[in-house]
């Protein structure tokens, strides 16, 4: 098996994804596009599949398609078109030219090639029978080289089934996506699929079933230093712990929100962390600590964060004043203000 | 602003007669005489002066003159038209005159009209379409008033006005965030409009059941649910959609009594920002979310259009101006940078936001004209002879009579003319839609250069309306004429009306893209 065939056979999930990207870079240097344009185009397709889909990579794909057409490789041009349609149709259906799409599908049918790509493109671009096309594609995507596209297809299928009110079907699809992520040891995909499962379960009112997924996804997100996922998952988990009176876990998550929220500049997550810690102080019969934390946050974050975030802290202080009574609150509040003035 | 002879020549429109030249220079409705034939071109020229209602009235006149020329008009009707036009423009009434033209029906007096509606252009339906009801402007909650006046009397028992005042007095007013710190997720500012005052945030209790209907976009929790509601439908990223769906409901687990209303507001805001960040796009995508929530823009545009309908000129740039907003010009060509590829997702989101903001578009599909073929005798001579005999005996034509001439019957073109009228209405509505979009954008950033887009779209809409009116009028005039004489005129006119409908769809899409793209400049 030559290097290019090996590259095309590599699964584009988990650790082998990085390996595939590396190999495609190596091959891109080795292959002369003037003498071996077909090989160069195949490498470009692999690079596209191994990378995140962005407007830039989609634009590169369009350029590759023009090149393939120019070179007379209609089969490669058709595959590129189908991959482009499959991607663009998922996010921006209006950008799909129906005539061009139909031509690509017809060409693929005539060539008797790219059945999977045709199903994926149809699922993305045609509003009817999306689930049927995705299921048909997934049936044929058992080989490792399809892992990345299969993972995405399972997530898409879950969304389609969810929209069609097939909630058990949607959950099964998400679980299949999770299986793939675990099989290829891809933490990023695991975080995504677990988050989707958890949100799906929360929507169904099954928060306690969602909790293990949230915990595992949050642990992975922290390990991957994925602050966005960390903030999101902690924000969902923290109220669950609070409602279960799991104070230690809630406190830990509040601290995580303070750090990850500040790193993302999501100041509402930081405020949420402060309010949670303050509430825990109150629960532990420490009203002075509860007030002091909010006062300290309000004073220290002024001008550094949106006024809206400060307003939330002020609103919470007012709530505590109402809850504790004016006299008790004002005593602790004065102390906290004085302490902050001196520091 | 009226179309000049030069523009008319460029557009390939028929020139007005020399005798009319002087009158055209100062064309106005008062100069038109009763029973005078007015071409759609003249009608179009007068349209900017008087709005779409003028087109309706003038084309009504055209129809009446057509009837007169075919021997079916009557002077009383012409006088009635003249009076109603005078009333309409001098008195400023939005009610349409009670006119029935060219086989059309309806009482012509619908209860309430949208400012773009032209009524019956070419005769109309037998049954008038139900008039869309104007949506009532949603009253904002007391929060809005509280922002304006800190000393306002609390309207809600749940609020903690005294406690908030105490905190505000001791802490001082909340300063604005420094611009240099607007980075990362702090770029997502759409949520902030709901958190503008601690008065709305601090509450005595957090009752989860009261949150379900919290849809006011200026409420601390309503704002988060409204933004999430938009993302749930229009975000490209599926994780963003899923998270937004959880926040938009909102899921009960997010509303924890222990951390109070303020804690819930913080959590909802944090997760909303997360949903926005997962979708990506930074400030431009955030602007899209803000546009989507600016529901008042449509009603402001509608109100301004109603004012203009009374005085004339129901066109997007004027509507924006009447609503009290200014639109910025495009910068110097050198200053403009081409749109970057990575801006495309947020431009898409901007388009979706504009569509989310506006009522659903209902551009009619124009049916093909169906010309019935004359009856042919049966291929079996015996059967044909029996048919002919039966026809004669049952009061039909004798086999020796000449076959009846196939004519363009009113019933053939009635559905087309009805749809054409609706199409012109939709073109007028598009002017208001564009104005609403411009108002929503101007509220976020008055310096966004959108005036050029509005001007182009306005011009194109007028051209399209003129084309539809001309083709419709041609069809209407051809009513009753032998099809042999008309040749392919009916089919050609219908094709052109269909092309105008397609062009309107394309123009709407282009305008929204251009407006959304302008947010990146």
- Smallest CA–CA distance, residue B360 to chain A, in Å, is 17
- Best CA proximity match to B177, nearest among A302, A337, A141: A302
pLDDT digits (tens, 9 = 90+) for B137-166: 444 444 343 344 444 444 455 668 889 999
Amino acid B79: pLDDT: 37
In chain A, the residue whose alpha carbon lies closest to the alpha carbon of B506 is: A94
Q: Do A306 and B177 touch (CB under 8 A)?
A: yes
- Best CA proximity match to B430, nearest among B308, B347, B323, B512: B512
- Given B238, B266, B342, which is nearest A268 (Cβ)? B266
Average pLDDT, chain A: 94
Q: What is the DSSP string of B377-418?
A: PPSSHHHHHHHHHHHHHTT---TTSPPPPPB--HHHHHHHHH
Amino acid B71: pLDDT: 33
- Which of A2-11, A147-156, B133-142 bottoms out in mean pLDDT, i.e. has the lowest? B133-142
In chain B, the residue whose alpha carbon lies closest to the alpha carbon of A210 is: B253
Q: Please give the distance of CA B386 from its chain centroid, rounded to a whole number.
A: 58
Q: Is A280 left (phi over 0), alpha (psi -120 to 50) or beta?
A: alpha
Amino acid B167: pLDDT: 92
% of chain B exceeding 90 in pLDDT: 35
In chain B, the residue whose alpha carbon lies closest to the alpha carbon of A87 is: B236
In chain A, the residue whose alpha carbon lies closest to the alpha carbon of B166 is: A318
- Is A87's Cβ below 8 Å from some Cβ in B? no
Mutate to test the interface with A, among B143, B202, B208 (most CBs of A within 10 A): B202
- Given B175, B246, B271, which is nearest A307 (Cβ)? B175
- Smallest CA–CA distance, residue A186 to chain B, in Å, is 17
Residues 232-291 of B with CB under 8 A from A: 236, 238-239, 241-243, 245-246, 249, 251-256, 258-263, 265-267, 269-271, 273-274, 277-278
pLDDT band with cut points at 50, 70 and 90 for residue B405: confident
Supply the Cα-derived Rg of chain B in whole angstroms. Answer: 29
- Which of A121-135, A246-260, B60-74, B137-151 bottoms out in mean pLDDT, i.e. has the lowest? B60-74
Instruction: Indicate the burial class of B43 (C-beta count within 10 angstroms; 0-12, 13-18, 19 or more).
Output: buried
Residues 183-242 of B with CB under 8 A from A: 183-186, 189, 191-192, 194-204, 220, 236, 238-239, 241-242
Contacts of B178 in chain A (CB under 8 A): 303-304
Amino acid B250: pLDDT: 84
- Smallest CA–CA distance, residue A235 to chain B, in Å, is 6
In chain B, the residue whose alpha carbon lies closest to the alpha carbon of A240 is: B253
Amino acid B377: pLDDT: 75
> Mean pLDDT over residues B423-439, rounded?
93
pLDDT digits (tens, 9 = 90+) for A259-275: 999 999 999 999 999 99
Q: Do B186 and A269 touch (CB under 8 A)?
A: no
Contacts of A323 in chain B (CB under 8 A): 260
- Is B460's Cβ below 8 Å from some Cβ in A? no
Q: Is A185 left (phi over 0), alpha (psi -120 to 50) or beta?
A: left
Q: What is the pTM of this model?
A: 0.78
pLDDT value at A95 more than 90: no
> Mean pLDDT over residues B341-351, rounded?
85
pLDDT band with cut points at 50, 70 and 90 for residue A125: very high
Which of B8-12, B198-202, B243-247 has the highest average model confidence (pLDDT)? B243-247
Per the model's pLDDT, the better-predicted residue between B252 and B53 turns out to be B252
- Best CA proximity match to B271, nearest among A230, A240, A158, A214: A230
% of chain A exceeding 70 in pLDDT: 99
Average pLDDT, chain B: 74
pLDDT band with cut points at 50, 70 and 90 for residue B112: low
Residues 343-372 of B with CB under 8 A from A: 343-345, 348, 351
- Smallest CA–CA distance, residue B216 to chain A, in Å, is 17
How far is the C-alpha of A252 from the C-alpha of B62, rounded, in Å? 79
- Smallest CA–CA distance, residue B487 to chain A, in Å, is 33
pLDDT value at B80 more than 90: no
pLDDT value at B331 more than 80: no
- Best CA proximity match to B372, nearest among B415, B430, B411: B411
pLDDT value at A149 more than 70: yes
- Are residues B413 and B471 in contact, defined by beta-carbon separation less than 8 angstroms? no
Q: Which ipTM value was assigned to this complex?
A: 0.95
pLDDT digits (tens, 9 = 90+) for B193-235: 999 989 889 887 887 666 666 678 888 999 999 999 999 999 9
Q: What is the 3-state secondary structure (H, E, C) of B280-296?
A: CCHHHHHHHHHHHHCCH
Amino acid A306: pLDDT: 96
Helices then strands, counting H and E runs in chain A, come out as 18, 0
Mutate to test the interface with B, among A308, A316, A320, A332 (most CBs of B within 10 A): A308
- Given B238, B251, B255, which is nearest A203 (Cβ)? B251
Per the model's pLDDT, the better-predicted residue between A25 and B122 turns out to be A25
Contacts of A333 in chain B (CB under 8 A): 170
Q: Do A275 and B274 touch (CB under 8 A)?
A: no
* DSSP state, residue B368: P
Contacts of B280 in chain A (CB under 8 A): none
% of chain A exceeding 90 in pLDDT: 89
Per the model's pLDDT, the better-predicted residue between B74 and B408 turns out to be B408
- Given A196, A235, A267, which is nearest B186 (Cβ)? A267
Contacts of A202 in chain B (CB under 8 A): 246, 251, 253
pLDDT value at B110 more than 70: no
pLDDT digits (tens, 9 = 90+) for A178-187: 999 999 999 9
Q: Do A319 and B197 touch (CB under 8 A)?
A: no
Contacts of B192 in chain A (CB under 8 A): 306-308
- Is A321's Cβ below 8 Å from some Cβ in B? yes
pLDDT band with cut points at 50, 70 and 90 for residue B370: confident
Amino acid B421: pLDDT: 92
Contacts of B198 in chain A (CB under 8 A): 311-312, 314-315, 318
Q: Please give the distance of CA B382 from its chain centroid, rounded to a whole number.
A: 61
Amino acid B134: pLDDT: 46
pLDDT band with cut points at 50, 70 and 90 for residue B92: very low
How far is the C-alpha of A248 from the C-alpha of A216, rounded, in Å? 17
- Domain extents for chain B? 5-135+360-368+406-518, 143-293
In chain B, the residue whose alpha carbon lies closest to the alpha carbon of A306 is: B177
> Mean pLDDT over residues A194-220, rounded?
96
Residues 37-56 of A with CB under 8 A from B: 54-56
In chain B, the residue whose alpha carbon lies closest to the alpha carbon of A254 is: B267
Per the model's pLDDT, the better-predicted residue between B405 and B3 turns out to be B405
> Mean pLDDT over residues A139-165, rounded?
95
Tell me the count of A-B CB pairs closer than 8 A.
235
Amino acid B47: pLDDT: 42
pLDDT value at A194 more than 60: yes
């Amino acid at each position: 098996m030559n290097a290019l065939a090996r590259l095309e056979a590599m699964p584009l999930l988990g650790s082998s994804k990085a390996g595939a990207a590396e190999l495609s870079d190596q091959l891109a240097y080795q292959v002369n596009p003037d003498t071996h344009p077909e090989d160069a185009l195949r490498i470009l397709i692999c690079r596209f599949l191994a990378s995140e889909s962005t407007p830039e990579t989609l634009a590169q794909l369009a350029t590759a398609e023009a090149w393939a057409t120019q070179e007379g490789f209609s089969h490669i041009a058709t595959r590129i078109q189908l991959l482009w349609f499959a991607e663009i149709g998922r996010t921006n259906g209006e950008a799909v030219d129906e005539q061009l799409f139909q031509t690509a599908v017809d060409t693929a049918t005539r060539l008797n090639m790219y059945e999977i790509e045709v199903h994926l493109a149809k699922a993305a671009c045609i509003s009817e029978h999306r689930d049927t096309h995705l299921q048909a594609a997934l049936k044929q995507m058992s080989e490792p080289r399809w892992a990345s596209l299969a993972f995405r297809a399972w997530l898409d299928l879950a969304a389609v089934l969810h929209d069609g009110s097939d909630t058990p079907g949607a959950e099964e699809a998400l679980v299949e996506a999770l299986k793939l992520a675990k099989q290829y040891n891809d933490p990023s995909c695991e975080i995504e699929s677990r988050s989707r499962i958890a949100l799906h379960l929360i929507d169904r009112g099954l928060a306690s079933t969602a909790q293990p997924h949230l915990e595992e996804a949050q642990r992975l997100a922290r390990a991957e230093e994925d602050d966005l996922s960390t903030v999101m998952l902690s924000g969902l988990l923290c109220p669950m712990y609070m409602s279960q009176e799991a104070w230690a876990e809630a406190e830990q998550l509040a601290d995580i929100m303070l750090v990850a929220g500040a790193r993302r500049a999501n100041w509402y997550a930081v405020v949420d962390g402060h309010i949670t810690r303050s509430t825990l102080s109150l629960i532990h019969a420490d009203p002075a600590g509860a007030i002091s934390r909010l006062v300290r946050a309000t004073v220290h974050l002024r001008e550094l964060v949106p006024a809206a975030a400060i307003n939330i802290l002020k609103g919470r202080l007012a709530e505590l004043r109402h809850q504790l009574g004016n006299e008790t609150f004002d005593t602790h509040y004065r102390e906290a203000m004085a302490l902050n003035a001196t520091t | 602003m009226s179309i000049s002879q030069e523009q008319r020549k460029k557009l390939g429109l028929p020139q007005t007669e020399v005798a009319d030249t002087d009158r055209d220079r100062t064309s106005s409705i008062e100069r038109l005489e009763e029973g005078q034939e007015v071409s759609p071109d003249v009608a179009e020229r007068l349209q900017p002066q008087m709005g779409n209602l003028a087109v309706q009235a003038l084309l009504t006149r055209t129809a009446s003159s057509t009837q007169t020329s075919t021997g079916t008009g009557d002077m009383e009707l012409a006088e009635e038209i003249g009076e109603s036009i005078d009333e309409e423009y001098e008195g400023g009434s939005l009610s349409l005159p009670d006119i029935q033209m060219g086989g059309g029906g309806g009482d012509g007096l619908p209860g309430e009209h949208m400012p773009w509606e032209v009524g019956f252009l070419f005769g109309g339906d037998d049954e008038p379409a139900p008039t869309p009801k104007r949506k009532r402007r949603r009253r904002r909650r007391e929060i809005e008033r509280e922002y304006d006046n800190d000393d306002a009397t609390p309207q809600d028992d749940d609020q903690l006005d005294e406690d908030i005042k105490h905190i505000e007095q001791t802490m001082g007013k909340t300063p604005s965030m420094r611009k240099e710190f607007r980075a990362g997720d702090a770029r997502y500012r759409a949520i902030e409009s709901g958190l503008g005052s601690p008065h709305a945030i601090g509450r005595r209790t957090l009752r989860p059941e009261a949150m379900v209907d919290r849809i006011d976009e200026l409420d601390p929790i309503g704002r988060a649910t409204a933004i999430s509601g938009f993302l749930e439908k229009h975000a490209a990223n599926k994780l963003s959609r899923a998270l937004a769906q959880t926040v938009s409901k909102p899921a009960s687990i997010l509303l924890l009594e222990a951390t109070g209303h303020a804690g819930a507001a913080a959590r909802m805001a944090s997760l909303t920002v997360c949903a926005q960040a997962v979708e990506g796009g930074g400030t431009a995508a955030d602007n899209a979310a803000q546009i989507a929530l600016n529901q008042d823009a449509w009603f402001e545009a509608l109100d301004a259009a109603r004012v203009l309908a009374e005085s004339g000129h129901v066109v997007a740039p004027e509507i924006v101006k009447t609503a009290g907003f200014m639109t910025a010009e495009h910068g110097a060509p050198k200053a403009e940078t081409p749109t970057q590829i990575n801006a495309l997702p947020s431009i898409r989101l901007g388009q979706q936001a504009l569509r989310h903001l506006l009522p659903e578009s209902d551009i009619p599909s124009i049916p093909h004209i169906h010309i019935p073929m004359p009856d042919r005798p049966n291929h079996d001579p015996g059967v044909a002879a029996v048919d002919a005999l039966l026809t004669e005996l049952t009061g039909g034509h004798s086999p020796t009579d000449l076959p009846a001439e196939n004519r363009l019957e009113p019933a053939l073109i009635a559905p087309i003319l009805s749809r054409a009228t609706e199409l012109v209405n939709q073109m007028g509505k598009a002017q208001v839609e564009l104005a609403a979009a411009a108002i929503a954008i101007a509220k976020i950033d008055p310096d966004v250069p959108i005036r050029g887009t509005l001007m182009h779209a306005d011009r194109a809409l007028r051209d399209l309306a003129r084309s539809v009116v001309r083709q419709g009028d041609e069809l209407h005039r051809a009513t009753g004429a032998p099809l042999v004489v008309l040749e392919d005129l009916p089919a050609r006119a219908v094709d052109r009306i269909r092309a105008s409908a397609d062009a309107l769809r394309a123009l709407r899409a282009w305008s929204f893209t251009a407006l959304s793209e302008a947010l990146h400049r």
